[in-house]
């Protein structure tokens, strides 16, 4: 046991220089070098010594601290049995997925997101052309749902601009001396840069990057339109309080990330179309299944199709622009 612990410690030391005592540990800190494989190695080593799971993990998973400790015991044993130990993000992610097979999908994806890890195996088996990136998000809160086709999500920050990192560090110092006015001003600066900061246990900062997501291929009624509020509530019912998997394709003219959204195994665009909560946005997406799902809802007169002649959102926006 002692030899295994020393091997695990050497693995961590080779991958990352020792941090300063005041520096936050693991991916919940603000230093880019603390994410990924080295963070997992460090946290497993710390768990073997203290039986404590990392601060901030509960923000990303749904199970209890006792369950989290069970995961880390399994992961620690699996790590020691792997020769050579994981050295790349893909290998570390594969170890987590294989070791925790049978556990809640939300927990496994949350743990991966906590360490900024992802695997090609976590994507749909067949990806459409043009896929750029996959995100595993923090749980969605209601205020981040704009309408039935646009949502803000937050992802563990792995690359942090220098000015944001300095602002986070200065905010921590301001809070330490109880200068909350200055700390709040710095928080606004961090938010304006597209990041969100939360305080985990022991006041260690959790930094997350904001992505504004436009659901690809659908167009829901605007909130000011007839059925607009109902469409937003339909989306909120599916995603509120849950972590999402988002497959990104690019950025639109409004700097929103266009992507397919999945939650608990459900393809959100499909659910919105089948429920009659959105139109197939055929001008930007020609997937035939989208048209089929919309047609099914039309025939059944579900959602917005209960109206004889619902207004198209793109026409409503054009009329609004024209006064």
Pull the structure tokens for residue 150: 């646009």
Instruction: Indicate which residue of 42, 204, 216, 256 is catalytic.
Output: 256
What contacts 101, CB < 8 A, 6 or more positions away? Answer: none
Instruction: Indicate which residue of 222, 245, 274, 294 is catalytic.
Output: 222
- 67 vs 69: CA distance, rounded Å: 5
Instruction: Indicate which residue of 175, 196, 204, 214 is catalytic.
Output: 214
Does residue 214 have an active-site annotation?
yes
What contacts 195, CB < 8 A, 6 or more positions away? Answer: 157, 160, 164, 207, 208, 209, 210
Q: At what angle do helices 65-81 and 37-50 cross, to 10 degrees?
A: 110
Residues 75 and 117: beta-carbon distance below 8 Å: no
Pull the structure tokens for residue 322: 């024209």
- 60 vs 137: CA distance, rounded Å: 8
Pull the structure tokens for residue 83: 């020769």
* DSSP at 304: G
Name the 3-class secondary structure at 163.
helix
Does residue 230 have an active-site annotation?
no
Phi-psi map region of 216: left, alpha, beta (phi>0 left; psi -120 to 50 alpha): beta
Active site residues: 214, 222, 256
């Amino acid at each position: 046991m002692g030899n295994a612990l020393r091997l695990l410690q050497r693995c961590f030391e080779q991958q990352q220089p020792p941090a300063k005592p005041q520096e936050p540990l693991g991916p919940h800190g603000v230093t880019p070098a603390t994410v990924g494989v080295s963070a997992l190695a460090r946290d497993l080593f710390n768990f073997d010594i203290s039986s404590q799971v990392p601060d901030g993990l509960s923000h990303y998973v749904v199970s209890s601290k006792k369950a989290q400790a069970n995961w880390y015991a399994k992961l620690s044993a699996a790590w020691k049995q792997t020769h050579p130990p994981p050295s790349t993000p893909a290998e570390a992610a594969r170890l987590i997925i294989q070791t925790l097979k049978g556990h809640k999908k939300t927990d496994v994806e949350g743990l991966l997101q906590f360490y900024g890890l992802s695997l090609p195996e976590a994507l749909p088996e067949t990806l459409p052309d043009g896929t750029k990136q996959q995100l595993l998000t923090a749980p969605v809160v209601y205020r981040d749902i704009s309408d039935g086709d646009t949502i803000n999500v937050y992802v563990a920050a792995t690359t942090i601009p220098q000015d944001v990192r300095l602002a986070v560090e200065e905010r921590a110092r301001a809070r330490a001396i109880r200068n909350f006015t200055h700390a709040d001003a710095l928080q606004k600066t961090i938010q304006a840069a597209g990041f969100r900061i939360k305080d985990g246990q022991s006041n260690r900062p959790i930094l997350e990057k904001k992505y504004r997501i436009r659901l690809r291929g659908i167009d829901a009624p605007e909130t000011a339109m007839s059925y607009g509020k109902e469409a937003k509530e339909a989306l909120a019912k599916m995603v509120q309080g849950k972590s999402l998997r988002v497959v990104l394709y690019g950025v639109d003219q409004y700097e929103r990330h266009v992507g397919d959204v999945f939650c608990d195994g459900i393809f959100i665009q499909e659910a919105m179309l089948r429920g009659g909560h959105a139109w197939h946005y055929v001008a930007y997406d020609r997937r035939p299944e989208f048209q089929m799902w919309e047609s099914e809802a039309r025939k059944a007169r579900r959602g917005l199709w209960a109206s004889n002649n619902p207004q198209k959102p793109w026409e409503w926006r054009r009329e609004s622009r024209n006064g």
